[in-house]
Amino acid sequence: MKKRINKSERKFQYAGRLQQSGQKPKDLNLHGRSQWQWTWTKMGLLSLCILSVSIPLLLHLFSDSIDLSRPSDIGLNHTINMYLTPEEGVRVGVWHTVPEHRWKEAQGKDLDWYEKALGDGSPIFIYLHGNRGNRSAPHRIGIANVLSAVGYHVLVLDYRGFGDSTGEPTEAGLCTDVLYLYHWVKARSGNSPVCVWGHSLGSGVASTTAVKLLVQGKQFDGIILEGAFLNARMETNKLTEHPFTWIYWKFPYIQYFLFNPLKNKDLNLPTDENLQKIQTPLMILHAEDDHLVPFASAQEIYRIAKKAQNSDEHVKLVRFDGALGYLHNGLYKDPGLPNIIREFMQSLMT
């Protein structure tokens, strides 16, 4: 009758044989732990990959579920939606948020009331967003809320091809949309200052539109560039590669989840060249930890603009500490931002 050997006896017999042969016994518990650690590491990496794909997808599905014609559905109770027609066959959606101190007065008001409100003397901002999503993105609503709280009107535009705006997005088309909105606002704003705020891709649209306005003998009263890049050419410049290409190289599949209407478009939007022609007061906002557009881009933009305007007063660079974790889209969270904006606007009046 064979003797049954349990696991612990088998382990000691195995260790004895190794000792007789001069080999060191393996730590079986350590080997088991390393296997578990490797398993958990693989599971963690797999989870990270799944999140990197699912989060953009979920955000896109959520933004698509919002009826952009009803901003009140997401708590914007002093905002109205409207559609403008910059060209035949093109309709662009715009949200107009009035200054926060007028929110009670704004309840139940129609588009005519909002149009007349533009002439109340409060500063007006045209906000130009980045290259994905629509005007309902949380960080875009965040900036609109900050500007409204300070006491300003905000008009947030979805370029053609973005959100519920119709048409095919092109560089010329984006600028045409902004020019049309600018003239629409100026026709109703009286002597109120009209400024532009460009974030990310919107910084290039803002600077390019500003140059086109100069040709027409007009200009914005002030320009704010947030997370701005030097230009949108898909090539390497002396400071950094185009900020939106690295993710395509590292994760080729991700392009199907970024929902970018400008994908594969030939863009230029040369902020670096435009700022050499602009004399408009300019403020540059940039986080040190911006993960899409390095802070060096903001420093170069500041150098170019300061040289062109030959002024320390008209060109300002505001640096946000990387430890704050704002990255590319989070500057609206900064508690000091309202005062930064207020001081910039006050400098326009002097």
Residues involved in catalysis: 200, 290, 328
**Strands laid side by side in the 282-287 sheet:** 79-87, 90-97, 153-157, 124-128, 194-199, 222-226, 282-287, 315-320
| Interatomic CA distance for residues 53 and 38, integer angstroms | 23
Tokens of 124: 């007006």
Burial letters 229-245, b for 16+ CB under 10 A, else e: bbbbeeeeeeebebbbe
Query: Residue 161's CB: how many other CB atoms inside 10 A?
Result: 19
SS3 286: strand
Closest CA to 155 of 204, 111, 217, 89: 111
Query: Interior CA angle at 298 toward 297 and 299, to 5°?
Result: 90
| Interatomic CA distance for residues 55 and 259, integer angstroms | 12
Q: List Cα–Cα distances, 299 to 133, 236, 304, in angstroms.
A: 27, 17, 9
Under 8 Å between Cβ of 170 and 113: no
| Interatomic CA distance for residues 27 and 297, integer angstroms | 53
- Radius of gyration, alpha carbons of the chain: 27
Q: For residue 2, count CB atoms less than 10 angstroms from its CB and return exposed for 0-12, middle for 13-18, buried for 19 or more.
A: exposed
Rounded to the nearest 10 degrees, what angle do helices 201-215 and 171-186 cross at? 60
Q: List Cα–Cα distances, 49 to 55, 118, 212, 250, in angstroms.
A: 10, 47, 43, 12
